[in-house]
Amino acid sequence: MDKKRRVLIADDENVNREFFDIMLGNLGFIVDKAEDGEAVFELIRKNKPDIIIIDDMLPVITGWQITRTLKTDEEYSRFSDIPIIMLSEMADPEAVVEGFNLGVDDYIRKPFSFAVVYARIKAALRNRETMYKRAQHEEAVAVIKSLSNTFIFLSDHLKTPVGNLKSAISDFSNIECIDKNTFVNLIAENTNRIMAALESLSAQITEIKKAENEISDHSLDLSDLEEKYRDIRSKMKAAGGR
């Protein structure tokens, strides 16, 4: 893992808390420990762990109640994506099904093997990363489409009036008047700059459309998209646009 992950261990048995603290700490995790439900909520608000391992029959507020609150209470909506692994001594299939319906990511019976728990932790974190990447992917697609539509709008709505303006200037240049050449040159210079900016914009639209077609094959880095946008801006400024 690229960075240290924070794990919240919630168990009323001190030996279990200390066991996880030592084992996961040696594996590079940051470990928070809670012995009851109230402490769980306090640590979640304070540190927002990457994953929660919680005993189902935790004192004060049970693991089931904590899970229900995290997954359904608007006050805790910013924590609803935290994976939860439930520890339980019960073998009741209905309890297991209820846990998954509540939003538990995994369910492990006590007594447990640390190797199994560790494997489940890594799997839950991988699933969370996959969800984040999918969300970023969808965001990138939305940004690309938004930029494409904006650029297309600008291109379609500026080319015609600018072309008409150039035609009018061409006609005006055949009429004798004071400072006519100065006026014509000024207008021509600015319209040429606008057209150059629009040509650059058209090229960028082509690139973005290409990326839009390729987005299913790889996730577009939003920083790349921002760089393209800055490039467009710089080209427009260099061409005399605002």
pLDDT given for residue 229 in this prediction:
46
DSSP state of 114: H
Closest CA to 13 of 82, 87, 67: 87
Please state the φ and ψ torsions of residue 118, each to the nearest 5 degrees: -60, -40
CA distance 178 to 183: 9
Compute CA distances 183 → 58, 139, 164, 168, whole Å: 83, 47, 17, 12
Q: Is the pTM of this model over 0.75?
A: no
* 3-class SS letters over 70-93: HHHCHHHHHHCCCCEEEEECCCCH
Residue segments in the chain with a per-residue pLDDT below the cut of 70: 1-2, 91-93, 95, 131-132, 135-140, 142-143, 146-147, 150-151, 153-158, 160-161, 164, 167-184, 186, 190, 193, 197, 200-201, 204-205, 207-242
List, for residues 132-153, the tens digit of each pLDDT value.
Answer: 677 666 666 766 776 677 667 6
Question: Using CB atoms within 10 A of its CB, is residue 31 exposed (0-12), middle (13-18) or buried (19+)?
Answer: buried
Max CA pair span of the chain: 99
- In one-letter notation, the amino acid at residue 189 is E
